[in-house]
Amino acid sequence: MSKLTSLSEAIREHVHDGDLIYAAGFTHLIPFAAGHEIIRQGRRRLTLARATPDILYDQMVAAGCAEKIIFSYSGNPGVGSLRVVRAEMEAGRLAYEEYSHFAMITRLTAGAAGLPFLPMQPVGTDDLARANPQYRTVTDPYSGRLLNAVPALTPDVAIVHAQRADADGNTQIWGIVGEQKEAAFAARRVIVTAEEIVDERVIRSDPNRTILPAMIVSAVCHVPYAAHPSYTQGYYDRDNAFYLEWDKLSAKPESVRAWLNEWVFGLADRAAYWSKLGPEARARLAVTPRWSQPVNYGEF
């Protein structure tokens, strides 16, 4: 059954005020187009979970979409601070719940596996566990040793960007696979945006690469360049210049507001955004092909 729909329709149907959202992707494949559509549609009181909130959640917090964030590294990767999120946290205006990367990903893995929690080896310090009562300890029933435990994270919606998907939602990713699979299996609803919508035969020609099966996907949207200023391996490069520019731009609330007006509210969709970026940026982000060797699955 085809789940193809426009991104605006997918957000309208599946993302509601007050939802817990996990926009997946560790540096790679961050679903910026979907986040911008959530901003445009004016969603409120969201809980935004991501290991690294990244610029995307800085923008969504600035736009007033969020009442809480759940995170494990709130920085602008490779650049420094995530200024909007940091200022809101320091001012006490944004609730937050904090983990280490491993604890955050372990929460998703528990959610994906249908478990109430998962244990982890202790790390020697319990300062974070004291600050966040969601960290608990559990006794290993075999050795009697104490382990750390974190509860399953089960988002209302996971958003995943991918290189390609078929209309049913079978989704293939290559490059850094981060936590997309865990986030999607843990979530109640899954929105996929893809650089390309391909025939089911393309997916079936390489089933090992399928990271999400159609059965867990709620909506499939064809949105080329949806990850910019993050990147899509093999399609376009990370826009490091924009990550550096955001560091300057986000120092002032007025310039963040102006940026949102110009690049989110002022544009209808991702196609308009990509066109507005212009030929210089598009040329700068173009990627030289480097193909893998095909593998032989055999005819049976």
Partner 1 sequence: MDYSAAELMTINAARLLRDGDVVFVGVGLPNLACNLARRTHAPRLTMIYEAGVVGAQPARLPLSIGDPTLVSGAASVCSMYEIFAFYLQRGLIDVGFLGGAQIDRFGNVNATVIGEYARPKVRLPGSGGSAEIAAWAKRTYLLTPHQQRRFPERCDFVTGAGFLGGGDARRASGVRGGGPQAVVTDLGLLEPDAKGELILVALHPGKTVAQAKANTGWNLRTAPALRTTEPPAEAELRLLREVLDPGGIYLKGG
Beta bridge partners of 80: 76
Residue nearer to partner 1 on the CB measure, 68 or 101: 101
Work out the number of other CB atoms within 10 angstroms of the CB of residue 209. Answer: 15
Which of residues 292 and 296 has its CB atom nearest to partner 1 in the complex?
Answer: 292
Residue 249 CB, shortest distance to partner 1, in Å, is: 17
131 versus 272: smaller Cβ distance to partner 1: 131
Minimum distance, C-beta of residue 25 to partner 1, in the bound complex (Å)? 9
Residue 106 or 154 having the CB closest to partner 1: 106
- Cα radius of gyration rounded to whole Å, the chain: 20
- Least distance CB 4 / partner 1 (angstroms): 27
Minimum distance from residue 196 beta carbon to partner 1 (Å): 18
State the amino acid at position 225 in one-letter form: Y
Among candidate residues 161, 193, 198, the one with its CA nearest the CA of residue 180:
161
Nearest-approach distance from CB 221 to partner 1, in angstroms = 23
Least distance in Å: CB of 300 to partner 1? 28
**Complex with partner 1: residue 5 or 180, whichever CB lies closer:** 180
Q: Which residues contact 13 (CB under 8 A, 6 or more apart)?
A: 5, 219
State the residue for tokens 């979907």: 34
Give, as one character, the DSSP assignment of residue 268: S
E runs forming strands in 99-156 = 117-120, 136-139, 146-151
Q: Least distance in Å: CB of 117 to partner 1?
A: 15
- Nearer residue to partner 1 within complex by CB, 6 or 77: 77
Task: Please state the three-class secondary structure of 211-240 as a single string.
Answer: EECHHHCCEEEECCCCCCCCEECCCECCCH
In which residue are the tokens 């550096």 written? 244
Return d(Cα 34, Cα 108) in angstroms, integer.
21
Interface residues with partner 1 (CB under 8 A) are: 26-28, 51-52, 71-75, 77-79, 81-82, 86, 89-90, 98-103, 105-106, 108-109, 120-125, 127-128, 131, 145, 174-179, 181-182, 231, 233, 237-238, 240, 243, 287, 290
Q: Measured at the alpha carbon of residue 19, what is the angle toward residues 15 and 24, in degrees to the nearest 5?
A: 75
Contact between 212 and 170 under an 8 Å Cβ cutoff? The reply is yes
CB of 7 or CB of 178, closer to partner 1? 178
